[in-house]
Structure 1
Amino acid sequence: MQIVDYKSAEAPKLFVESLRETGFGVLENHPIDQNLVNSIYEKWQAFFDSDEKHQYQFDVEKQDGFFPFETSETAKGFDVPDLKEFYHVYPWGRIPEHLKDDILEYYRRTSEFAAQLLSWIEQYSPSEVSANYSEPLSQMIKDTPNTLLRVLHYPPLDGVEREGAVRAAAHEDINLITILPAANAPGLQVKKKDGSWMDVPCNFGNLIVNIGDMLQEASGGYFPSTSHRVINPSGEEAKRSRISLPLFLHPRSEVKLSERHTQASYLLERLRELGVK
């Protein structure tokens, strides 16, 4: 998997080639402020370490707020929940006041950057693929209330985890694309075409982008939504928390993805499969 220099003249082409081949692309020298990311990691680690998080228990219908360890997701095809807790951030949702400024600034900047990346993807989609997009990909996320920023916390492992439990079991994302700044610890892997697993380059400062099911649907399978996972660390790394900050870019609810689905119908189908709806 090639790391693409965002400032290179060849960046759009190389980035989309990587997405087509592996479902993942990795950017360096990108415009997302690493100092802002660091600040978010530090402040939200303190939040997850506190009892304050329980004041923001998630809303079953709106899906905003804090999802505790005990109610963590179970990946499709698995019967053991992931070893994680997380917080769902929407601009219209509940956010602790002292955490709001940084997280919403990150949400805004990264959503704007996503529109550029989606334009790259459309630019390098074959004409027979782009002909099926119901509107320009970058416009699908314009004024959407559905894009989700998830602040993920993988607590230290204590050695008594349930058999088969991992930080994030193999899964695909539901949305168009996901943008993820490299986490503060390694562990992210992507499944290759031959079925083996490959480490995603996670140098601190890299920006990782992957295709989600909705773009796979909209592109008729041209862009693959690839299985990925977060494996459990060993040794000293197992004693450390891991914070991750994926932004799941979603179209507006009425956007037509294919003859079968709008954003809303596809999302509902997948949330029911995950057992969170």
Structure 2
Amino acid sequence: MTASVPVVSMAGAASDPASFAKAFGDCFARYGFAMVSEHGIDQGLIDRSWAMSRAFFDLPEAVKRQYQVAGISGARGYTPFGTEIAKGAQHVDLKEFWHVGRDLPAGHPLAVQQPNNVWPEEPADFRETFETMFAELDRVGGILLSALARWLELAPDWFDDTIRDGNSVLRLLHYPPVEGSPDGIRAEAHEDINTITLLLGAEEAGLEILEPDGSWLPAAPPPGALSVNVGDMLQRLTNHRLPSTTHRVRNPVGDRAAVSRYSMPFFLHFRSDFLIETLPSCIDADHPNRYPEPITADDYLQERLREIGLKK
């Protein structure tokens, strides 16, 4: 099943940044999503990452739970099946996951908000693989934000300081086979908290986005492409000029119900101390400021973590 969300190639992002910015920004403004091809992440790295993710989630439950870290709201390490719940949902999502974040040096002013990583003893090369993947997704995310800055008629480097040492998270997701008629679905309808999300693994059917008319639009990128979407922090910054679109991962039907689904979303975040304040250029008589009170990225994040059950 192919998506109606357009595919935007990054091949010309460096040689013709204005054209890429228009194509990417226009797609974001219409859908809150874009399918991004030719992003430059090495396919060998992607393949190793899938192998590592599957190998970790195949470990016994007791082994995986050794890496569940108390007191950090799931920010790093392992979060067991049945923990996270979408804002306003009645049932927990049918998934388990692992979080990789950004390690900061001792004494860094943001270290209190951003705990350092924990790493499993197996599979071998897990740490090296996902440190590299984190860095690559971070790099591509920076290019995409530069394009959005151009589209918003800001300086191309406007977002650079807002995300430097930011609280970004790479999530390794496993949705186990669906048995019987469970109460919940793999991921209930939700919006992402962060700035933008870069997702690998959406080729497997299931990801859907909510259209303004209430219908659900399948979102399946071409093989190897990224699904990229607006998060709530960017929506707030732009006064909803760029919409954070509701999306979900529905349960499979037929033979696919017996198959696990794996994906790797990279939640690109602002710096924890960045003040999210509506851009003046996104406010006018027809679009009054929805958010007259600014908020730091970390305060906003903590509010939302409580809403989805990761923080008590």
Over the aligned positions, Cα root-mean-square deviation in angstroms equals 1.7
Residues 73 and 274, structure 1, Cα contact 8 Å, conserved in 2: yes
Q: Distance in 1 between matches of 2:40 and 2:134?
A: 14
SS of the counterpart of 2:72? coil
Q: Distance in 1 between matches of 2:69 and 2:94?
A: 18
Unmatched segments (≥5 aa) in structure 1 = none
Residues 203 and 220, structure 2, Cα contact 8 Å, conserved in 1: no
Residue equivalent to 2:310? 276
Partner residue of 1:66 out of 73, 78, 99:
78
Residue equivalent to 1:185? 204
Q: Distance in 2 between matches of 1:238 and 1:34?
A: 27
Q: For residues 173-252 of structure 1, what are the structure 2 equivalents within 5 Å?
A: 173-183=192-202, 185-252=204-271
Residue equivalent to 2:111? none
One-letter amino acid matched to 1:64: R
Unmatched segments (≥5 aa) in structure 2 = 103-115, 278-292
One-letter amino acid matched to 1:261: I
Higher alpha-carbon deviation: 94-103 or 238-247: 94-103
Report deviation, 1:160.
4.4
Q: For residues 90-239 of structure 1, what are the structure 2 equivalents within 5 Å?
A: 90-91=101-102, 92-97=116-121, 98=124, 99-126=126-153, 130=154, 136-144=158-166, 146-162=167-183, 165-183=184-202, 185-239=204-258
**Bigger helix fraction:** 1
Q: Distance in 2 between matches of 1:102 and 1:183?
A: 20
Residues 257 and 263, structure 1, Cα contact 8 Å, conserved in 2: yes
One-letter amino acid matched to 1:79: Q
Q: Distance in 1 between matches of 2:234 and 2:185?
A: 27
**Per-residue CA distance 1:24-69 (angstroms, 9 max, x = gap):** 0111121112221121111211211112312201333262111111
TM-score (ref. length: structure 2): 0.81
TM-score (ref. length: structure 1): 0.91
**Per-residue CA distance 1:225-262 (angstroms, 9 max, x = gap):** 00000011111111111111000011111101124211
Partner residue of 1:260 out of 284, 289, 294:
294
Residues 199 and 264, structure 2, Cα contact 8 Å, conserved in 1: yes
| Residue 3 (structure 1) aligned with residue 7 (structure 2) | yes
Residue equivalent to 1:80? 91
Q: Distance in 2 between matches of 1:158 and 1:182?
A: 22
Question: Size of the alignment, in residue pairs?
Answer: 267
SS of the counterpart of 2:276? coil
Asked which structure has the greater CA Rg, the reply is 2
Q: State percent identity of aligned pairs.
A: 40
Residue equivalent to 2:109? none
Q: Distance in 1 between matches of 2:232 and 2:210?
A: 15
